[in-house]
Amino acid sequence: MHKHPSALGVATALKPAAPVTLIRPQAAARAARFFAEKFPGKSLYAVKANPSPALLRTLWDSGITHYDVASIAEVRLVADTLPHAKLCFMHPVKAEEAIAEAYHVYGVKTFSLDTMDELEKIARATNGATDLELCVRLRVSSDHAQLSLASKFGVDLADAKELLMATRQVADALGICFHVGSQAMSPHAYTQAIERVRAAIVDAAVTVDIIDVGGGFPSVYPGMEPPALELYFDAIHRAFESLPVSYSSELWCEPGRALSAEYSSLIVRVERRRGDELYINDGAYGALFDAAHIGWRFPVKLLREEPANDEEMTPFSFYGPTCDDMDHMAGPFLLPADVRTGDYIEIGMLGAYGCAMRTGFNGFTAETCAEVEDAPMASLYDESIAAPRRANVVQLIK
Ligand SMILES: *Cc1c(COP(=O)(O)O)cnc(C)c1O
């Protein structure tokens, strides 16, 4: 792939008529090294956030050896891309055929579950295997997260005892996992969830070998400036150390967003302007699902060689290219007031749940990809940005 110095360089060189996906391997590598070095346990990359094989290889090369997969297609993809990776099948509701193929063909031994039904399914599909690592998914609150994951999966604390005891009988290693919701804006999300884990362990009186605190680690977006990740890691480590678990127990996490958000951005072109509405060539059916459906505000930047005539920033909303009224992103997205048809805009932080959600609806897609060397539009891993934020939050917590 051709390397360009910057997003502006790509827009100038290619004058692209369709959206261009930009990738920044160095940003993903920095995030991976951060988790590999600083998280006080093992970090499993949650593949659904962005399954691009190039990204998987970058993460592997930067120290991420474990992968959280949720479908048999993800199992096959990661096994083919990274033959030595350890795969953990962490979807609590799986097809029995998927469990069997994962175990017998790909050697997957780690599975999550949240019902007796699923436990029986796993036992049947693996022919009563005795080398399984089974993680019981506990339902926890999503109060601190921007995107709830509290209603679909997870056994209630009140029903956890029976399931933990039954799983202990089947598992070689027993784990407890949870997910606090995506983009968790406070470390308290994890400490509260770990308190629930403590209650479950005490109640069931079982030996637990793995505590998996799931995903939810945040990235930075306009209006969403989370505390430094070290504060999350410290809080999780302290809470984990105080749990009544076996001496050799392991701590795991499953970051998706935090490892991939900075990896990608997108160049779009303005095809029409109507007042403060811009008609651009990507949208809700492309990389901007979250911007359309849950009002996520991604950072934007006008890519023009000459400076804007008017430096004043104005709030805009976007329409995507399909013929659908719902293909609308409310924003607000702040851009210079003189934006016009033919201008290129970079939309940042789309590495997680952006590029991965693209469809080809209505014939609009983005086939061109370019590697760029400039910095992502925001970062959780840039020390010069992280330091003041960390100071703020230490005060906030006290
Ligand atoms: C989606 C998901 C993740 C990743 O969540 P992020 O908020 O992107 O970190 C991790 N674990 C499981 C089980 C998931 O479903």
CATH number assigned to the domain comprising residue 291: 2.40.37.10
Is the pLDDT at 167 greater than 80? The verdict is yes
Last residue of a domain, one of 244, 260, 276: 260
Is residue 382 included in any domain, yes or no? no
Last residue of a domain, one of 260, 292, 324: 260
Is residue 338 included in any domain, yes or no? yes
Give the chain's domain count.
Answer: 2
**Domain with 302 in it:** 2-22+262-372
Give the rounded percent of residues in the chain with a pLDDT score beyond 90.
Answer: 90
Is the pLDDT at 1 greater than 90? The verdict is no
Confidence at 384, pLDDT banded by 50, 70, 90: low
Residue 214 near ligand 1, beta carbon < 6 Å = yes
Q: Each residue of 43-58: pLDDT tens digit?
A: 999 999 999 999 999 9
Q: Average pLDDT of 358-383?
A: 94
Q: Average pLDDT of 378-383?
A: 90
Q: Each residue of 93-127: pLDDT tens digit?
A: 999 999 999 999 999 999 999 999 999 999 999 99
Q: Which atom of ligand 1 is nearest to the CA of 184?
A: 7
Task: Report CA(295)–ligand 1 centroid distance (Å).
Answer: 20
Residue type, 281: N
Question: Measuring CA to CA, which residue among 143, 133, 144 is closest to residue 224?
Answer: 144
Relative to beta strand 277-280, strand 264-274 is: antiparallel
Please compute Rg for the chain using Cα positions: 22
Residue 90 near ligand 1, beta carbon < 6 Å = yes
Q: Do 236 and 311 reside in the same domain of the chain? A: no
> Do residues 265 and 348 touch, judged by C-beta distance below 8 A?
yes
Burial class (CB in 10 A: 0-12, 13-18, 19+), 275: exposed
Using CA atoms, how far apart are residues 142 and 160, in angstroms rounded to an integer? 19
DSSP designation for 1 = -
How many of the other CB atoms lie within 10 Å of CB of 39? 22
Q: Each residue of 284-314: pLDDT tens digit?
A: 999 999 999 999 999 999 999 887 666 789 9
Confidence at 394, pLDDT banded by 50, 70, 90: very low
Is residue 107 included in any domain, yes or no? yes
Q: Do 52 and 171 reside in the same domain of the chain? A: yes
Q: Each residue of 170-197: pLDDT tens digit?
A: 999 999 999 999 999 999 999 999 999 9
Using CA atoms, how far apart are residues 210 and 177, in angstroms rounded to an integer? 8
Q: Each residue of 240-252: pLDDT tens digit?
A: 999 999 889 999 9
Is residue 378 included in any domain, yes or no? no
Question: Measuring CA to CA, which residue among 168, 106, 181, 176 is closest to residue 141?
Answer: 181
Q: Do 71 and 187 reside in the same domain of the chain? A: yes
Is the pLDDT at 395 greater than 70? The verdict is no
Record the tokens describing residue 220, joined without a space: 């930075």
The count of C-alpha atoms lying within 13 angstroms of the C-alpha of 296, restricted to the half-sphere facing its C-beta, is 26
Burial class (CB in 10 A: 0-12, 13-18, 19+), 132: buried
Q: Do 255 and 300 reside in the same domain of the chain? A: no
Q: Each residue of 143-154: pLDDT tens digit?
A: 888 888 888 999
Q: Do 292 and 207 reside in the same domain of the chain? A: no
How many of the other CB atoms lie within 10 Å of CB of 285? 22
How many of the other CB atoms lie within 10 Å of CB of 171? 27
Task: Report CA(179)–ligand 1 centroid distance (Å).
Answer: 7
Using CA atoms, how far apart are residues 360 and 373, in angstroms rounded to an integer? 28
Q: 333-355: buried (b, 16+ CB within 10 Å) or exposed (e) per residue?
A: bbbbeebeeebbbbbbbbbbbbb
Is residue 383 included in any domain, yes or no? no
Using CA atoms, how far apart are residues 7 and 244, in angstroms rounded to an integer? 50
Is the pLDDT at 391 greater than 60? The verdict is no
Beta bridge partners of 136: 113, 176
The pLDDT, as a whole number, for residue 328 is: 98
Structure-model confidence comparison of residues 391 and 283, the more confident one: 283
Is residue 389 included in any domain, yes or no? no
Record the tokens describing residue 389, joined without a space: 């934020």
Record the tokens describing residue 72, joined without a space: 């048999």
The pLDDT, as a whole number, for residue 261 is: 98
The pLDDT, as a whole number, for residue 249 is: 97
Last residue of a domain, one of 226, 260, 294: 260
Question: Please, which residues have CB within 8 angstroms of residue 83's CB and are 6 or more apart in sequence?
Answer: none
Q: Do 220 and 314 reside in the same domain of the chain? A: no
Is the pLDDT at 387 greater than 60? The verdict is no
Q: Do 197 and 327 reside in the same domain of the chain? A: no
Residue 281 near ligand 1, beta carbon < 6 Å = no
Residue 41 near ligand 1, beta carbon < 6 Å = no
Question: Please, which residues have CB within 8 angstroms of residue 17's CB and are 6 or more apart in sequence?
Answer: 269, 281
Q: Each residue of 15-31: pLDDT tens digit?
A: 999 999 999 999 999 99
Q: Do 286 and 139 reside in the same domain of the chain? A: no
Q: Do 156 and 267 reside in the same domain of the chain? A: no
Q: What is the CATH number for 170?
A: 3.20.20.10
Q: Average pLDDT of 333-359?
A: 96
Relative to beta strand 313-319, strand 3-4 is: unpaired
Is residue 386 included in any domain, yes or no? no
The pLDDT, as a whole number, for residue 10 is: 97
The residue contributing the CA closest to ligand 1 atom 10 is 215
Residue 252 near ligand 1, beta carbon < 6 Å = no
Residue 193 near ligand 1, beta carbon < 6 Å = no
Residue in the block written with tokens 């019902």: 115
pTM score of the predicted model:
0.95
Using CA atoms, how far apart are residues 327 and 284, in angstroms rounded to an integer? 5
Q: Do 175 and 102 reside in the same domain of the chain? A: yes
Q: 102-120: buried (b, 16+ CB within 10 Å) or exposed (e) per residue?
A: bbeebebbbbbbbbeebbe
> Do residues 142 and 181 touch, judged by C-beta distance below 8 A?
yes
Q: Each residue of 72-93: pLDDT tens digit?
A: 999 999 999 999 999 999 999 9
Considering Cα of 158, then 162, then 164, then 167, what sign does the dihedral take? negative
The pLDDT, as a whole number, for residue 385 is: 56
Q: Do 101 and 236 reside in the same domain of the chain? A: yes
Confidence at 393, pLDDT banded by 50, 70, 90: very low
Is residue 205 included in any domain, yes or no? yes
Q: Which of 48, 55, 118, 137 to mutate to test the pocket of ligand 1 (most atoms within 8 A of CB)?
A: 48
Q: Do 18 and 59 reside in the same domain of the chain? A: no
Confidence at 382, pLDDT banded by 50, 70, 90: confident
